[in-house]
Amino acid sequence: MIPVKRYVVFIIFVVLAIFFQSTSLYDNINVRNAAPDFILIIICITAFLSGPIPGQILGFVTGLVVDILSGGLLGLFAFTYTVIGYGVGLVGQRVLGKSVLITITLLFFVTLIKAAILSMFAALFLKPGYFGYFAGGMVFLEAVMNGLIAPLLFMIINRIQTRVAD
Amino acid sequence: MAKSFRYRDIVILAILLFISFTMMGFSQTKITVQFKSVAYAMLFPFQYSGAKSITLVKDFFASIRNNRYLKQELVTTKGLLEEYKRTQHEFEEIKRENERLRSLIGIQSELEYETVIAEVVAKSPQNLYKTIIVNRGKESGIERWMPVVAYQDGVKCVVGKVIDVQAFSSRIQPLIDQSNYIGAMLKESRYSGLLVGQSPVSEQCLLQYLDRRATIEYGDIVVTSGMGGIFPKGILIGEVVSVSKKTYGIFQESFVQPKVDLGRLEEVYIITKRVAEDYFSDFTGER
C-alpha cells in the first residue's frame, strides 16, 4: 500500500522550499553568492527515507517546476534532480540512520554532483561560460552549507512523517 | 522479486532522464518556449501567493523592528523636503534655461520614455539563473526586450531587460546574467564597449571590446551607450573594479561592479521603449 500521507509531507516541504527560495528572504542567507539548496536537501531526504522511485519522481517533478519558474533551460533541473533522487535513494537505503556524519558527507558530494551536471549541460546547451559555476569556490561553500543543514532538516521531516504515518 | 524491483527503478529512471534530455534538446524551439510560457502562466498565481505570504511575514517582523526609527526619519525627511522644495524651484529655472540654450544651438532634447512601475514578486528559485519576476505584464503594456531600471540610493541604474511577458507578470533578465549583453561606455572618456554578465560565476560584469587607447582607472563610471538598441543612452551601470590590458590585440577589457543591488530590489521601472522583434533577427549583438 502506498503511504500517501508520508508523501504529502515531502510534497509540502518541497513546495515550501520552492516558495522560500523564490523570495528575497533567500538572498539574505547568501554567503559569498552561495546559499543552501533546500529543494535539493528535501529531495535527498525523500529519497533517503522512501527509496529510489519516490526520490526520482519527486526529483523530476520538482526539477520541472524549478525549470519553469526559472525560465532557463527546460529539463535541466528535472534531469539533475532525477539523477540525484535515484542515486541517493539507492545509497540512502544502505546507510539510512547510521550517522549524522554520513548525511553531511552525502549531501556534500551530492551538491558537487548537482553542480557538475548543471554546469555540464548548461555549458552544452546554453553557453560555455556556465561551466565556471562548477569551477567556482561557491559550489564548495554551498556543499558545506547543505551538509550542515541536512541533518537538522532530516530530523524534523523524519519525525513529522513518522508521526503522520502512525 | 528484488531484481525485478530494481529493473523497474532503472526503467523509470531511463524514461524520466530521456524526457528531461529531450526537453533540453528542444528547449529553444518555439513549441517548447510556448509550453514554458503556458506552464509558467499556470504556476505564477501559486508562486505569487506563496512568495507574497512569506514576504508578508518577513515584512511584519521588519516593521516592528523598524518602528522606532520612523520618528527619527520623519524629522529628517521633513528637513529634506524643505530643502528639495527650494532645489526644485532652482532646477526648473535651470531646465528652462537649458532647453532654451539647446534650441539656440540646434540640439534636440534627449528622448524621455514613459515608465511603468512594477513590484518584484519573486525570483528564480535557483542560483544558476538570476531572473526576477515582476507583477506587470501585457495588460500594463509591457513587451519583450523593454529595458528595466531601478532607483537605489537615489540613483537611476540598470537592472536588466524583459525577456518573457505574461498577462499579469514579466520575467526580467538582470544585467549580471551570462546571456545578457548591453552596449556600454565609460562616462568620462566616452569609449564604448560591450558589457556581458558573468553570473553565476561572478556578480560582476565584463566590459569587452574597449579601445586599447582608452585609459581606464579603478572607479571609472560605466553607463549605457544607447548603441545596443534596447537601453536609452546614459543610464548608470556601475563602476570599474579591475582592468585587463593584454600585451596583444586591439582591445582591452575591464570588470564592472553593477550599481544595482539585486538582493534588495523591491520595485523596478520598466521603460516602455519598444524594440521590434525583427530587430534581433539579423543582429547578433545585444540581446
How high is the ipTM of this complex? Answer: 0.83
Residue A144 binned pLDDT confidence (cut-offs 50, 70, 90) = very high
The answer to whether residue A29 sits within a structural domain is no
Is there a contact between A6 and B176 (Cβ–Cβ < 8 Å)? no
Inter-chain CB proximity A79 and B17 less than 8 Å = yes
CATH no., domain B115-276: 2.40.10.350
Peptide bond preceding A52 in cis form (omega within 30 of 0): no
Band the pLDDT of A51: cuts 50, 70, 90. Answer: confident
Q: Mapping DSSP to helix (H, G, I), strand (E, B) and coil, where does residue A124 land?
A: helix
CB within 8 Å of A100: residues ≥ 6 apart: A151
The verdict on residue A15 lying in a domain is no
With CB atoms and an 8 Å threshold, state whether B23 touches A60.
Answer: no
User: What cell was used for B74?
Assistant: 520623519
Asked if B262 lies within 8 A of A27 by C-beta distance, the reply is yes
Q: What is the spatial distance between Cα B61 and Cα B53, in angstroms, rounded to a whole number?
A: 13
- Give chain B positions within 8 Å (CB) of A21: 125-126
pLDDT digits (tens, 9 = 90+) for A67-96: 988 888 889 999 999 999 999 998 877 776
Residue that is written with C-alpha cell 549605457 in the block: B224
How many Å apart are CA A38 and CA A114, to the nearest integer? 13
Looking at the domain assignment, is residue A77 inside a domain?
Answer: yes
Distance in angstroms (rounded) separating the CA atoms of residues A102 and A95: 8
Higher per-residue confidence, A64 vs B61? A64
pLDDT of residue B112: 66
Mean local confidence (pLDDT), A23-40: 85
Domain count for chain A:
1
Percent of residues in chain B assigned helix, strand, coil, to nearest 5: 40, 30, 35
Q: Which domain holds residue A93?
A: 36-155
Mean pLDDT throughout A32-36? Answer: 83
Which residue has 538572498 as its cell numbers? A27
Chain B nearest-CA distance from A6, in A, is: 20
Give percent of chain B with pLDDT exceeding 70: 91
Tell me the β-bridge partners of B195. B182, B207
pLDDT tens by residue, B22-76: 888 887 677 777 777 778 778 888 878 877 777 788 778 877 778 778 888 888 8
Sketch the domain layout of chain B as residue ranges. 2-58, 115-276
**pTM of the predicted model, to two decimals?**
0.80
Q: In the predicted model, what is the mean pLDDT of residues A61-72?
A: 90
The torsion region of residue B37 among left (phi > 0), alpha (psi -120 to 50) and beta comes to alpha
The rounded mean pLDDT for chain B is 83
Q: Is the pLDDT of residue B126 over 50?
A: yes
Q: Please indicate, yes or no, if residue A3 is contained in any of the structural domains.
A: no
Report whether pLDDT(B283) > 70. no
CA B216 – CA B116 distance, rounded (Å): 35
pLDDT value of position B108? 53
Whether residue A56 and residue B27 make contact (CB cut-off 8 A), yes or no, is: no
